[in-house]
Structure 1
Amino acid sequence: MAFLSRSILALSVALLSNNVFAQKQCDVELRHGLIITDDIIRIVDKGQTRVQINNNNQLFIRGYWIDLSDDESKVLEQFSSGIRQTVPELVNLATDGVNLGLSAIEHVVEGMTDKESEVLKTQLQYVERALMDKFKRGDDFFFIAPQSLSKIDDFFTKDISKKIHSAVHGSLGAILMSLGDAFKSREGNIEDRMNDMSQRMDIISSEIDKSLQEKARQLELKAAEYCECLNALDVTESRLQAIVPGMVNFDLVQIKS
């Protein structure tokens, strides 16, 4: 089962590579959720929109429009632009990292047996659900939940990693059971099928390693940039709170160090 160990190791490295981001990132916490579309930014608390920014220049707090002067609107626009420059890319990096592992698992087991598809689908749904609770993107929106960005590695290396490992073991268990049934009924050559699975594991592991090296470089380049952007966003938010005191109740960015 050496091929299985190599595959699980490669998937673990995929998740651990997120440590590069966490170690170089300053201690930043998003205290509320964010939903971002082309025209609207929503600051969300307990499933409810508390602050809404339309077209970067209209501000609503608890559904009430806040009248701003031209100069005050410029501060709002800077705050809105800061969110748009940082959060969508962060969501993309987070979801791409996990999707790499999920895609790899699917390719490894694809076509090996008819029995693994439902097992794999069910277990990967748990992985995807955990991911979407924190990060989600669609054709026209991005979502990020309240969380400490400096501890994002814990989410990937503990929660998501555990669920991915369960999916791997569950799907491979179904494959081995199917191969055992085929052997007993003399349907097919179990040795050839095992060799085929081993080769698939090796190919996928190699492809994962290549992708991980590139992703690690991307994360290293972005880490310092994120820290600077979020610090600047916090400063702009403080300026906006001075203009609109109601924004203090929905403080979004908190820098702890």
Structure 2
Amino acid sequence: MAFLSRSILALSMALLSCNAIAQKQCDVELRHGLIITDDVIRIVDKGQTRVQINNNNQLFIRGYWVDLSTDESKVLEQFSNGIRQTVPELVDLATDGVNLGLSAIEHVVEGMSDKEPEVLKTQLQYVERALMDKFKRGDDFFFIAPQSLSQIDDFFTKEISQKIHSAVHGSLGAILMSLGDAFKSREGNIEDRMNDMGQRMDIITKEIDKSLQKKAHQLELKASEYCECLNSLDITESRLQAIVPGMTDFDLVQIKS
């Protein structure tokens, strides 16, 4: 969890180089993964770097350097800047807050029992892995997997939500079993105590669902907001492909509508 909670500054110029129109809807797909650092952009396919851009002006395809003229280098720079002005902010938005929600679950569950149930650790690892398979960031890099940006909301409201529900309710059973003997030694009705705990866990999951729905809505708006940016990026990519035909093998941005 600590890995995802590392914060880095978002790119403040993300919307300044394109006309962002939140009302316009478009179906945008990233067909390859992207790894972005301060100096390098990598277009990744099946775990391998296929295209690499160094310092916005040096191009490698399948490990081979591509010699570009000054004018051609300007097109490469536009393409590189277009990626940097969209992807990192989407990754930031996707990862921010989710890890805090997972940490909150841990703290609540630990407060109900002397130790965190093993089932919770396992389930939360599944949640974190699912998130990191799609979006990842570290101190010096951003990663986004191939995916349809118009379906980001489904990823949070369905897949991540379902995994978190499994984690919470799975750990509830483990907690009730571990606390059974302790309840028996105390005054009060055991069934009422267990019902109360079940209600508390339900409240937790409902609050998490609200948080995920909010996150999904934010990402949906951002993807829509970036529609013009991504259209512009797709046009620049087409210009670059005309200059360097080898780039067509790793077409990154696809606008479906």
Do the structures match in fold with TM over 0.5?
A: yes
Q: Is the 8 A contact 1:21 1:223 kept in 2?
A: no
Deviations 1:114-149 (A, max 9, x none): 343422111100111111111111111111111111
Q: What is the CA distance between 1:180 and its match in structure 2?
A: 1.6
Distance 1:222 1:237 in 2: 21
> CA RMSD, aligned part only?
8.1
Q: Is the 8 A contact 1:115 1:175 kept in 2?
A: no
Q: Is the 8 A contact 1:30 1:253 kept in 2?
A: yes
**Closer/same/farther in 2, CA of residues 95 and 117 from structure 1, 3 Å limit:** same
- The range that moved more, 190-199 or 128-137, is 190-199
Match of 1:158 in 2: 158
Secondary structure, counterpart of 1:59 in structure 2: strand
Q: What is the CA distance between 1:13 and its match in structure 2?
A: 30
- The range that moved more, 183-192 or 46-55, is 183-192
**Closer/same/farther in 2, CA of residues 6 and 162 from structure 1, 3 Å limit:** farther
Q: Is the 8 A contact 1:100 1:208 kept in 2?
A: no
Over 3 Å off, 4+ runs:
1-25, 185-221
- The range that moved more, 45-54 or 90-99, is 90-99
Report sequence identity in percent: 91
Structure with the larger helix share: 1
**Closer/same/farther in 2, CA of residues 88 and 28 from structure 1, 3 Å limit:** same
Q: Is the 8 A contact 1:30 1:147 kept in 2?
A: yes
Aligned residues: 257
**Closer/same/farther in 2, CA of residues 108 and 191 from structure 1, 3 Å limit:** farther
Q: What is the CA distance between 1:222 and its match in structure 2?
A: 2.8
Q: Is the 8 A contact 1:124 1:167 kept in 2?
A: yes
TM-score for the superposition, normalised by structure 2: 0.79
**Closer/same/farther in 2, CA of residues 106 and 12 from structure 1, 3 Å limit:** farther
Q: Is the 8 A contact 2:169 2:201 kept in 1?
A: no
- The range that moved more, 240-249 or 97-106, is 97-106
- For structure 1, the residue ranges without an aligned partner over 5 or more in a row are none
Q: What is the CA distance between 1:221 and its match in structure 2?
A: 5.6
**Closer/same/farther in 2, CA of residues 252 and 39 from structure 1, 3 Å limit:** same
Q: What is the CA distance between 1:18 and its match in structure 2?
A: 23
Secondary structure, counterpart of 2:182 in structure 1: helix
Distance 2:235 2:53 in 1: 18
Deviations 1:205-257 (A, max 9, x none): 89769967975785476343211111111011011111111101110000000
Secondary structure, counterpart of 1:41 in structure 2: strand
Distance 1:198 1:14 in 2: 44
**Closer/same/farther in 2, CA of residues 224 and 240 from structure 1, 3 Å limit:** same
- The range that moved more, 12-21 or 27-36, is 12-21
Q: What is the CA distance between 1:106 and its match in structure 2?
A: 1.8
Secondary structure, counterpart of 1:143 in structure 2: strand
- The range that moved more, 96-105 or 46-55, is 96-105
Distance 1:7 1:74 in 2: 32
- The range that moved more, 139-148 or 20-29, is 20-29
**Closer/same/farther in 2, CA of residues 106 and 142 from structure 1, 3 Å limit:** same
Q: Is the 8 A contact 1:50 1:61 kept in 2?
A: yes
Q: What is the CA distance between 1:158 and its match in structure 2?
A: 2.4
Q: Is the 8 A contact 2:19 2:229 kept in 1?
A: no
- For structure 2, the residue ranges without an aligned partner over 5 or more in a row are none
**Closer/same/farther in 2, CA of residues 15 and 203 from structure 1, 3 Å limit:** farther
Distance 1:178 1:11 in 2: 47
Q: What is the CA distance between 1:16 and its match in structure 2?
A: 29
TM-score for the superposition, normalised by structure 1: 0.79
- The range that moved more, 224-233 or 60-69, is 224-233
